[in-house]
Amino acid sequence: MRPVGENRVTGLAPEALVPKALVPEALAPEVLVPARGSGGPVEGSREPVGGSGGPLQGPDGARPGHGPGRTEAAPLRFAVLGDSFSEGVGDRAAGEWRGWAALLADGLAGPGQRVEYVNLAVSGALSADVAAHQAPRAVALRPHLASVVVGVNDTLRHGFDIGRFARRLDGVLASLDAAGAVLLTACLPDPGRMLGLPAPLARPLARRRRSVNAVVHALSARRGAVHLHLADPAWTDDRRLWSADRLHPGERGHRAVAGAFHRLLAERGLARGPAPSPEASEPPPTRAETALWLATAGTGWVLRRSRDLLPQLLLLAGEELLHRGDGTAPGPLDARAETALAAALAATMGK
């Protein structure tokens, strides 16, 4: 399933928080593709969505072409924002990235209801990209559900600033909340641990990840989001869930994420279709395919990040070693990160 016109050509710590009631909003004049199995038009077809009056109706209240007295529930609109995790990288089906969000969309609709799903996530997206480009488009769709999972790429940039990240994420969640969307969020696994980096390199990334997750937890609670704690060892320690790069879920991982979100939504009456199957539908990559990926796409990823992150990460690792040498590690560095996090939370939560 590919949302029309979107970037899919390449393809619990805190318990879940109770979201707002799902109330259909005015439908936006946007063309979306119904999810598979939602009872809508054939996949890949285009059906217009009504304007501020809701679904297109005749004088008797029926959808045009559906006959007198036959009505159809308003479609449930699901917008997906974020980076490669939400784009579906790691779960290739029919030559394209599919991912957890598409799998979840297939299980949202109840009897007589359609799901209209649009994936705005882009590989490599930062919080700044989500705030500037994805969020305005999502708000215009007036989604009933909106997932926002972002932050790992911010932690992998030399200019990481937890205060800026908090302001951007707060703005994105606030705009979608004001548009009436139930929010889905997730925190992040530790990239240094996932990649098996040595401690002097892993610790700076772990501090950034902890700061990002603290902001995500606080803002998720503030907005009543449905939250999935993907930093839990149950996710990070099961290598069967992860692809060869150890940064993106494989098909089983995407299915596990979709299933976990489906359970949380079903508990609140917001997912009324069948849960996604946990069983992989595609054969796992062979060792040769994995080696080829690591030698091509994986090497490209490392080179791109090395130009941006590695020089500063080496400086941060140098700080780690210096403090270890004088017997103060990791105290001062942890304290500096905690001070920055406290200031970020005060600035956003104090509004």
- 3-class secondary structure, 96: strand
What integer best gives the mean pLDDT of the chain? 76
Q: How many CA atoms lie within 13 A of 154 on its CB side?
A: 27
Supply the pTM of this predicted model.
0.75
Say if CB 242 and CB 248 are below 8 A apart: yes
CA gap 5, 9 in Å, rounded: 9
CA gap 271, 264 in Å, rounded: 8
pLDDT-wise least confident of 37-41, 195-199, 283-287, 298-302: 37-41
The predicted structure's pLDDT at residue 94: 84
Say if CB 119 and CB 57 are below 8 A apart: no
Does the structure show a pLDDT above 70 at 38? no
The predicted structure's pLDDT at residue 93: 86
CA gap 249, 253 in Å, rounded: 5
Q: For a pLDDT cut of 90, what percent of the chain falls above it?
A: 44
CA gap 92, 99 in Å, rounded: 8
Say if CB 176 and CB 162 are below 8 A apart: no
Q: What is the phi/psi pair of residue 220, to 5°?
A: -65, -45
- Can you tell me which residue has the tokens 């809701």? 54
CA gap 31, 216 in Å, rounded: 31
Q: How far is CA 299 from the centre of its chain?
A: 24
Say if CB 275 and CB 117 are below 8 A apart: no
CA gap 230, 246 in Å, rounded: 14
For 235-254, the pLDDT digits (tens) are 777 877 877 777 788 899 99
pLDDT category of residue 299 using cuts at 50, 70 and 90: low
The predicted structure's pLDDT at residue 5: 36
The predicted structure's pLDDT at residue 306: 54
CA-angle at 188, arms to 19 and 107, nearest 5°: 50
For 160-189, the pLDDT digits (tens) are 999 999 999 999 999 999 999 999 999 988
Q: Please report the DSSP string for 15-30 in residue order.
A: PPPPPPP----PPPS-
Q: What's the token pair of residue 44?
A: 């890949």
For 306-345, the pLDDT digits (tens) are 566 667 677 777 777 776 666 666 678 889 999 999 999 9
The predicted structure's pLDDT at residue 332: 80
For 110-138, the pLDDT digits (tens) are 888 899 999 999 998 999 999 999 999 99
Q: In 3D, which of 40, 82, 16, 48 has the Cα closest to residue 226?
A: 16
Q: What's the token pair of residue 148?
A: 């926002």
Q: Please report the DSSP string for 219-288 in residue order.
A: HHHHHT-EEE-TTSHHHHT-GGGB-TTSSSB-HHHHHHHHHHHHHHHHTTT---SPPPPSS-SSPPPPHH
The predicted structure's pLDDT at residue 61: 35
CA gap 179, 280 in Å, rounded: 35
Q: What's the token pair of residue 235?
A: 């996710």
pLDDT category of residue 32 using cuts at 50, 70 and 90: very low
Rg (CA), the chain: 21
Q: Please report the DSSP string for 157-169 in residue order.
A: STT--HHHHHHHH
For 54-102, the pLDDT digits (tens) are 332 333 333 333 444 445 678 899 999 999 999 999 888 888 899 999 9
